[in-house]
Amino acid sequence: MGDQRCFYLFTQGCKINQHETQALREAWQERGWREVESASQADLILINSCAVTHKAVRDLRRAARGLHRESPGAEIAVTGCAVPGFGEELCELPGVRRLVAQRDKQQLLAWPEGEADAERGCGAAEKKWPLAISRFPRARPALKVQDGCSAGCTYCYVPLSRGPSRSRPPEEVLREALDLARHGYRELVLSGINLGQYSAAGEGVRDFWDLLFWLETRLIAAGRDGIRLRMSSLDPSLLGDKGLRTLAASELLCPHLHLSLQSASPGILSDMGRDRYRPADVSAFIRELTRIWPDFALGADFLLGFPGETERDFAETLDFARKMPFTYGHVFTFSPRPGTRAAGFSGSVSPGVKKRRSEELRGVLQDKQQAFACRMAELDRLWMVLEQRDPPAGRCEYYSLCYLGGDPGPGREGELIAVQPLEPREGGILVREEKAL
């Protein structure tokens, strides 16, 4: 390998982790390091971890052992959200020689020459947002605008790993958006740990809705109206009159909302520390939104089996899901995370009950997803971003998975393609490129 460092990256979890891994990739490549396709070729291996669920930590352990078997002589570093709560057991994994807490992730820009100082905390270097990107390994880049969370939900491990909410300055968000647009990306996903806590001084931007309006107007002024924006998961507390006005005025935004709902039981939301919004208010917002967006995608995250969740609590969530115009949803089951208040709550729900409730809710959401695909198949035109070639597929503006019939030709990943819907397929829609008609 000579003097050139060869590195391999393994990323778990959310869009923010993917963004931060890409920032490290670009920084290391600028230093002359070479990324390899197999861990067996690497002398440096970085695992960017997730710990939001028990399964994520289990997958992390399995991945670390597998990577060490592939490259026994490589130095393995683990960073990300699993480090604060699981550091002791991570140190015992074979090949793991360095742990870097999430709050110190930017220090990896100097790895291995620099030294990670776990006691440093959130210092001045972090406030400069050094983890910026100009490219992305996927066709729809995550545009990071916010990190951390100060909400204090009783079940959530994220504040312990990522710290309090911090917002990226608007001008840095714009700079990164323009860099990505120059490199040919046509859909940018505004991403954060909790977009509802976005707050920035200057540029007249106070909250997330201000940021969205400010960013969109400047992208259009810069001649970048050939791209589209999408929002990642939103806290339901964002859903108010200002949000409706912003969505109504938007020219670049995909008609798609994904809500971090978790439950539709007011009692469970209170126990979760999420009584900052009411399911009835969410329902009222969606009714108003249908007057602005006749067709739009609506997704949500649901967390079932929270301590003390009764059949009545679950019935409230299930009934809410049936009545709302959801087009898909993600269902998770509660697992206690170390250091959170809910880890000590009584009233645990049995695994069998969690499984039954999850299956019932997933069934409702899958039926809604299929019905939405049938409705989308009746439209005259969709615009999809090509994300993969085998088979050719991607997401349209309504977040439906589109399977593209025929060969799209080389070098079109990330491109916006006008397509005609043909028929619904399992989990999506079969489409063909419009020019072929």
Q: Where are the domains of the chain?
A: 6-116, 132-254, 382-436
The pLDDT value recorded for residue 111 is 78
The label of the residue with tokens 């108003």 reads 288
Mean pLDDT computed over 85-114: 87
Four-point Cα dihedral 296, 190, 141, 258, nearest 10: -40
CATH of domain 132-254: 3.30.750.210
- pLDDT at 428 > cutoff 50: yes
Return phi, psi of residue 380, to 5°.
-75, -35
Return phi, psi of residue 329, to 5°.
-170, 160
Distance, in Å, from the CA atom of 224 to the CA atom of 13, rounded to the nearest integer, reads: 30
The pLDDT value recorded for residue 257 is 98
Query: Tell me: domain 6-116, CATH 3.90.1520.10, correct?
Result: no
| Bond prior to 391 in cis (omega within 30° of 0) | yes
Contacts of 352 (CB under 8 A, 6+ apart): none
What's the token pair of residue 383? 């615009």
The pLDDT value recorded for residue 112 is 65
Given a contact cutoff of 8 angstroms between Cβ atoms, the answer to whether 427 and 436 are in contact is no
- pLDDT at 203 > cutoff 90: no
pTM, to two decimals: 0.92
The pLDDT value recorded for residue 263 is 98
Mean pLDDT computed over 124-148: 81
Residue type, 191: S
The pLDDT value recorded for residue 118 is 37
The pLDDT value recorded for residue 123 is 32
* pLDDT band at residue 363 under the 50/70/90 scheme: very high
The pLDDT value recorded for residue 1 is 45
302-358 confidence digits (pLDDT tens): 999 999 999 999 999 999 999 999 999 999 999 999 999 999 999 999 999 999 999
Residue predicted with more confidence, 395 or 410: 395
* pLDDT band at residue 125 under the 50/70/90 scheme: very low
The pLDDT value recorded for residue 117 is 40
* pLDDT band at residue 122 under the 50/70/90 scheme: very low
The pLDDT value recorded for residue 127 is 40
- pLDDT at 121 > cutoff 60: no
Mean pLDDT computed over 230-257: 97
- pLDDT at 138 > cutoff 70: yes
Q: Mean pLDDT for the chain?
A: 92
30-43 confidence digits (pLDDT tens): 999 999 999 999 99
Given a contact cutoff of 8 angstroms between Cβ atoms, the answer to whether 21 and 63 are in contact is no
* pLDDT band at residue 426 under the 50/70/90 scheme: confident
The pLDDT value recorded for residue 52 is 87
* pLDDT band at residue 224 under the 50/70/90 scheme: confident
HSE-up of 164 (CA within 13 Å, CB side)?
5
* pLDDT band at residue 212 under the 50/70/90 scheme: very high
Given a contact cutoff of 8 angstroms between Cβ atoms, the answer to whether 151 and 194 are in contact is yes
The pLDDT value recorded for residue 226 is 86
